[in-house]
Amino acid sequence: MQEIAICGLFDIRASSLQPSSRRLPMLHHYTLWHALVGGILIGLASLLATALSGKIPGISGVFGRLLVPATPDKAWRSVFLFGLIGGAALSFALWQSAALFRPMRPLLVMAIAGLLVGFGTRLGGGCTSGHGVCGVGMGAKDSIAATLIFMATAMLTVFIYNRVVL
């Protein structure tokens, strides 16, 4: 098991071509259980980060404030985000179903999307984690409103994109 983990860590692309018998058996095929368990992990991680930092650990807020020179508490923010990237890299290497990535949009669209996501999350005070998970979890009215709005406009955008562009 350790050998698999190590070779997977250093060669993500190549290892995904290996026969699946070389990998951890449980997580090959995606089911809705993966969604639920992954969600529980996200909830636990957010809870832990809230207890330790005393802040609501929404990813857009944690990241956005790192970009402001005057932010006093940069240490935990950067450590948390490096952990996020590291944890993701680890599971990409370990589990085939986690490493699945199906590109959907041209790169130009991705660049524009990034601009809108960055601007909108900071203007609206949160993203899927800060508003969607933490805010909704605490029953905050502004977060519930924000979540309903961004879900609705995202669905509308996909609807229009699929019919106009594709």
Partner 1 sequence: MRAGKLVLLFLAGGLFGMGLTVSGMTDPARVIGFLDIFGAWDPALLFVMAGAVGIYGMGMLILRRFAGVKLSSAAASPIDRQLVIGATIFGVGWGLGGFCPGPALANLGALQIEALLFVPTMAIGMLLAQRFFGADRE
By CB under 8 A, tell whether 123 contacts partner 1: yes
User: 80, 49 in Cβ contact below 8 A?
Assistant: yes
By C-beta, is 5 or 151 nearer to partner 1? 151
Number of residues that bind partner 1 (CB under 8 A): 116
Residues of this chain, 70-109, that bind partner 1 according to CB under 8 A: 73, 75-76, 79-92, 95, 97-105, 107, 109
The rounded distance, in Å, linking the Cα atoms of 155 and 113 is: 14
User: 35, 97 in Cβ contact below 8 A?
Assistant: no
Q: How far is the CB of 150 from partner 1 (least distance, A)?
A: 4
The rounded distance, in Å, linking the Cα atoms of 21 and 33 is: 21
Q: Going by C-beta distance under 8 Å and a sequence separation of 6 or more, which residues neighbour residue 121? A: 60, 64, 127, 130
4, 18, 24, 118: residue in contact with partner 1 (rule CB under 8 A): 118
Residues of this chain, 45-64, that bind partner 1 according to CB under 8 A: 45-61, 63-64
The rounded distance, in Å, linking the Cα atoms of 90 and 107 is: 25
3, 19, 69, 162: residue in contact with partner 1 (rule CB under 8 A): 162
By C-beta, is 22 or 153 nearer to partner 1? 153
By CB under 8 A, tell whether 29 contacts partner 1: no
User: What single DSSP character describes residue 72?
Assistant: S
By CB under 8 A, tell whether 6 contacts partner 1: no
